[in-house]
Amino acid sequence: MQTVYEAAGREKGLLRLACAWHERVMADEIVSHAFSHGFHPGHSERLAAYWVEALGGPATYSNTLGDETSVVRMHSGNGPHEEMDRRAIACFDQALTDIGLIENKPPNA
C-alpha cells in the first residue's frame, strides 16, 4: 500500500505542492497578510521538508531546521483568524489541483 508521502510524489512532489500553495497564498489578499512582515527565501523548501517528514518521509526538517515545538511556537500567539485559515485551506485545495494531485470536480460529483 502506498503512503500519502509516496502518493504525493515524495520530496519533489511535496516541493511542487509547497510552491503551488505559496504562490496561491501570496496572490490572496487576506492570506498574504501573514507574509507581510517578510518570509524566509527558502520558505517553500522548508515547508516541503516539514510536510515530507509529517507524511512519513525522511526527517530532514527535524535534522536540519527544528522540531514540531519550534513550528508551533513560530505560528502561535497571533490570535484567532478563521477567515485567513479558511482561505489558506482553499489555497491548499487549489494547489493540489494545480499540480495534478487531485482533479477539479464539482462538489458531490
The model carries a pTM of: 0.86
Reduced to 3 states, what is the DSSP secondary structure of residue 55? coil
Q: How many domains does the chain have?
A: 1
Q: Is residue 105 part of a domain?
A: no
> Residue 70 has what pLDDT?
80
Cα four-point dihedral sign 66, 52, 26, 78: negative
Reduced to 3 states, what is the DSSP secondary structure of residue 78? coil
Structural domain range at position 72: 4-98
Q: Is residue 13 part of a domain?
A: yes
> Residue 103 has what pLDDT?
79
Q: Is residue 107 part of a domain?
A: no
- Are 43 and 73 a contacting pair, CB within 8 Å? no
Q: Is residue 22 part of a domain?
A: yes
Closest listed residue to residue 24, CA positions, set 106, 90, 103: 90
Confidence band (pLDDT; 50, 70, 90) for 12? very high
Bigger pLDDT: 109 or 40? Answer: 40
pLDDT at 109 exceeding the cut of 60: no
Q: Is residue 76 part of a domain?
A: yes
Q: What tens digit of pLDDT does each residue of 14-67 get?
A: 999 999 999 999 999 999 998 888 888 999 999 999 999 999 999 999 999 988
Q: What tens digit of pLDDT does each residue of 56-79 get?
A: 999 999 999 988 778 777 777 777
